[in-house]
Every structure is written in structure tokens, then in C-alpha cells.
């Protein structure tokens, strides 16, 4: 038999104490610790062609779109987000992830120089214009790859680290699986069209989240507005970065994939990642990216609903204990990103085994609390007992067993 309490977060936002639930009900919800969330289905794609949001359908000119509040891992918008798409130069985010991993481990250094091969020098598409037969520092190659979107820079880095582009691509796919990109596969380091080379918009956002969190010391390369190499000055192709509306990441374009963008910005302690792809032009890409970034920050707020150590159930029943009840407290801070003005719709549920058999240790894990909007994935945190409760002695257990009610 389980004990459960369900209540609105309305009063919780104005008070530091959780009110006692009006009633108990059994819940068979699977437990997740901390603020883990369901990975799929947070915002289901619409059948109408619009993007879906927690507030309902929303039009977008992007064929593929995904917006993530990175701070709380909340999906704010989704359109065809798990559909395979040509990632174009968004691929270079994965190339950068592997390069950054080598830097972080000390296997290469920023000042280290790699030679420019004939293959790299002949690369088509966007370039940083590395001279044939020269050597270029890793630091300049990273800037050429991320600011100038240089295909030649990508190949020089791949050959310098792994010996060949093909062997570097193996590292990309291994890293992709390791960080949980569930619908991505790479055939090259540049994003030039190739069969079996794809990502989905959700994976692009997850990759961006890892770049920001795993390599904060190198993330700044994505936000530089221009770079001059070989007497050729080129600006960052990400208009949101150029306008100061984002601090990274990358743009891309191929005929098959259209014009795409991944951009991230942090405001008031919250970080948002916007991914769009399949727009019709550079102007449409810039306009839609700016519009969606502004919408995400203006339409949502992150609210702390519970504090670590906060008692959410003061009287959880105890069986055969010297005390009839024990308090249950939250193991983690619990915050939720919700549409502005929706705090009254948040539901908080407490789920624990009832009664809890004695002896009970202080800090004993006993159930969980979950928070969420109706129909949306919930945030979970473990509950723990705030004090110890000793087991009744032999006589006390007999009295409890044959008494009118269990302790």
C-alpha cells in the first residue's frame, strides 16, 4: 500500500512550507532521482505541420525545430525533432566536441601545429584558406572551423589528431553514442552531403548542451564575431552571435538541408538552446532564429518549487515504531520551467510506502516527490526521513499486533 499526496503549487510559490495534502491515493509511478526527466514525448510533434509547445501548436518556417531550456532540460518547442535531417555544417559541432575532448585530456595543445595536406587545401565549400604545405596552430584551426566554417580547417584537425578524416569520423560516432545522440551518424567532419550522414534536431540540441557543460573553457570559440587568417577577414555566420543575442554556436547550409542554425543564450540564470533547419534563406534563418529565441525567453519562466531539505510530508505513518509518524523531506532542489502565468497549474505529488516499517533510520530513502504540469513529463526527487524511529519492544509489538490499529 502506498501513501501519496497531490496538491497545487499555487500556495507553494508564496510559502516556504508545503501544505498537507487533502487526501491520499496510491501511485505506481516509476522513480527517478534528482531532476531527471522523461527523454521522449515532452512536447509531441503536431500532425498539422506546426511546431508543438506546452501551450499548443505554433507556426514556424523551419522544417525541423527544437528548443530546449538547458538549465532544467525542458522541451519548449518541437517540430520533426527526431526526424533524420542533413545537418550540413552543424556537423562541425560534433567535430569540435572531439577536438575539445583531446584538448581537455592533454593529448593535443592549442599552440600545437598541424600540417596542411593536399586534401585539406582542395576542400570545397566554405574555407579558412589554409596554405598548402604550411602548418597551422590548433587554436587557429578551431577558429577557422567554427567562425569561418572552414571545411579545410576541419580536415587539417582530423588528420592531425587521428591520421585521417576516416579515422576521426570513427571517433565522432563513438563520442556521439557516448553522450546519447540517439539519431545521428557521421560520414565526414564537415557536413558536406554524404549518404548515411544525418542528425536530428533534438540531437543537435543535446550536443550543444554537452559542448557548453563539458567544455566551458572552449565554448567561447563559438561566440567570437570574426577571425582573420591568411590576410582574409571573415565574420561569424551566426547572425544571432553577431547581434549579441546568442553566445554560440553554429550555422549550416546545403541544398538538401536548407539553412540551419543552432544558437544558445543565457539570461537571468536560464540557458536556452534553439535549433532550426530547413529554412529557405539566410534571412529567413536569421529572422526565425531571432524570433524563436525571443519567444522562448519571454514566454517561459523557471520557478523553484521545492528546496533541498524541505519537509513535504510531516506525518508519514510508521508501523511498529516508538513514534506513529515521521517527517519526509526533499533530497534536492526542484525547479520547473513553465509558461509564464501557469504556476497555478503545477501539480505536486508525494509517493511513499505507507506505513513505513520500523526501525527507521534518519536519512532513510522513502519514496519520491514529483512535480509537473498535467500531461507533461514530471520532475522527480527522492524523499528521506528527517529523524530516526526505533522499533517497539516485544511487548509493544504484541500490543500493536492485537490492538485496535497498527502503530
User: C-alpha cell of 21?
Assistant: 495534502
Nine-digit cell at 289? Answer: 532564429
Cα 379 from Cα 401, distance rounded (Å) = 39
More confidently predicted of 41 and 91: 91
Question: Residue 316's closest CA among 332, 331, 329?
Answer: 329
Catalytic residue among 88, 117, 126, 149: 149
For the entire predicted model, the pTM comes to 0.82
Q: What is the pLDDT of residue 261?
A: 96
Q: Which of 88, 89, 176, 370 is catalytic?
A: 89
Cβ atoms of 330 and 350 within 8 Å: the answer is no
Residue for cell digits 527544437? 66
pLDDT for position 120 = 96
Contact criterion met (CB below 8 Å) for 350 and 4 = yes
Cα Rg for the chain, rounded, in angstroms?
Answer: 26
pLDDT, tens digit, 9 for 90 and up, residues 156-212: 999 999 999 999 999 999 999 999 999 999 999 999 999 999 999 999 999 999 999
Instruction: Count H helices and E strands in the chain, helices first.
Output: 11, 20
CA distance 181 to 405: 54
Which pairs from 292-299 meet CB under 8 Å and 24+ separation? 292/60, 292/65, 292/67, 292/77, 293/240, 293/245, 293/246, 293/263, 293/265, 294/245, 296/67, 296/69, 296/76, 296/77, 296/272, 297/265, 297/267, 297/270, 297/272, 298/340, 299/55, 299/76, 299/339, 299/340
> Distance between CA 280 and CA 198 in Å, rounded?
19
CA distance 407 to 397: 9
pLDDT tens digits, one per residue of 6-16: 443 433 333 33
Determine which one of 92, 126, 265, 354 is catalytic: 92
Is residue 39 predicted with pLDDT exceeding 50? no
Average confidence (pLDDT) over 64-76: 94
Q: Which string of DSSP letters, residue by residue, matches 135-153?
A: EEEHHHHHHHHHTS--HHH
Q: Is 354 a catalytic residue?
A: no
- Max CA separation in the chain (angstroms): 92
Catalytic residue list contains 92: yes
Strand partners, 336: 303
Closest CA to 126 of 191, 188, 62: 191
All three cell numbers of 5, joined, read 499526496
Q: Which domains does the chain possess?
A: 2-30+307-402 (2.60.410.10), 64-300 (3.40.710.10)
Q: What was the pLDDT predicted at 14?
A: 31
Amino acid at each position: 500500500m502506498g501513501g501519496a499526496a497531490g496538491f497545487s503549487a499555487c500556495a507553494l510559490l508564496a510559502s516556504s512550507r508545503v501544505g498537507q495534502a487533502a487526501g491520499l491515493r496510491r501511485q505506481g509511478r516509476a522513480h527517478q532521482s534528482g531532476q531527471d526527466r522523461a527523454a521522449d514525448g515532452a512536447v509531441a510533434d503536431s500532425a498539422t505541420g506546426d511546431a508543438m509547445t506546452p501551450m499548443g501548436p505554433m507556426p514556424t518556417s523551419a522544417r525541423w525545430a527544437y528548443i530546449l531550456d538547458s538549465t532544467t532540460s525542458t522541451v519548449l518547442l518541437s517540430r520533426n525533432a527526431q526526424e533524420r535531417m542533413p545537418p550540413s555544417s552543424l556537423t562541425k559541432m560534433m567535430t569540435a566536441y572531439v577536438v575539445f575532448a583531446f584538448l581537455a585530456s592533454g593529448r593535443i595543445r592549442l599552440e600545437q601545429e598541424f600540417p596542411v595536406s593536399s586534401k585539406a587545401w582542395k576542400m570545397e565549400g566554405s574555407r579558412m584558406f589554409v596554405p598548402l604545405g604550411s602548418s597551422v596552430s590548433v587554436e587557429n584551426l578551431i577558429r577557422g572551423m567554427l567562425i569561418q566554417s572552414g571545411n579545410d580547417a576541419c580536415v587539417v584537425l582530423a588528420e592531425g589528431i587521428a591520421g585521417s578524416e576516416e579515422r576521426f569520423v570513427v571517433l565522432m560516432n563513438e563520442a556521439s553514442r557516448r553522450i546519447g545522440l540517439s539519431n545521428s551518424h557521421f560520414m565526414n567532419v564537415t557536413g558536406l552531403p554524404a549518404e548515411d550522414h544525418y542528425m536530428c534536431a533534438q540531437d543537435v540540441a543535446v550536443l550543444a548542451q554537452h559542448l557548453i557543460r563539458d567544455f566551458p573553457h572552449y565554448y567561447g570559440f563559438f561566440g567570437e564575431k570574426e577571425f582573420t587568417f591568411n590576410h582574409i577577414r571573415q565574420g561569424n555566420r551566426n547572425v544571432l552571435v553577431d547581434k549579441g543575442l546568442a553566445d554560440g554556436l553554429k550555422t549550416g547550409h546545403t541544398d538538401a538541408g536548407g539553412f540551419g542554425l543552432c544558437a544558445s543564450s543565457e539570461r537571468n540564470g536560464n540557458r536556452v538552446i534553439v535549433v532550426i533547419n530547413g529554412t529557405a534563406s539566410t534571412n529567413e534563418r536569421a529572422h526565425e532564429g531571432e524570433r524563436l529565441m525571443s519567444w522562448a525567453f519571454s514566454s517561459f519562466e523557471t520557478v523553484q518549487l521545492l528546496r533541498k531539505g524541505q519537509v513535504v510530508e510531516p506525518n508519514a505513518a510508521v508501523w511498529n515504531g516508538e513514534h506513529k509518524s515521521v517527517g519526509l523531506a526533499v533530497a534536492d532542489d526542484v525547479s520547473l520551467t513553465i509558461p509564464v502565468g501557469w504556476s497555478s497549474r503545477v501539480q505536486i505529488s508525494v509517493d511513499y510506502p505507507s506505513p513505513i516499517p520500523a526501525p527507521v533510520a534518519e536519512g532513510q530513502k522513502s519514496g519520491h516527490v514529483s512535480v509537473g504540469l498535467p500531461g507533461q513529463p514530471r520532475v522527480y526527487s527522492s524523499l528521506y526521513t528527517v529523524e530516526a524511529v526505533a522499533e517497539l519492544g516485544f511487548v509493544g509489538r504484541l500490543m500493536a499486533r492485537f490492538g485496535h490499529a497498527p502503530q
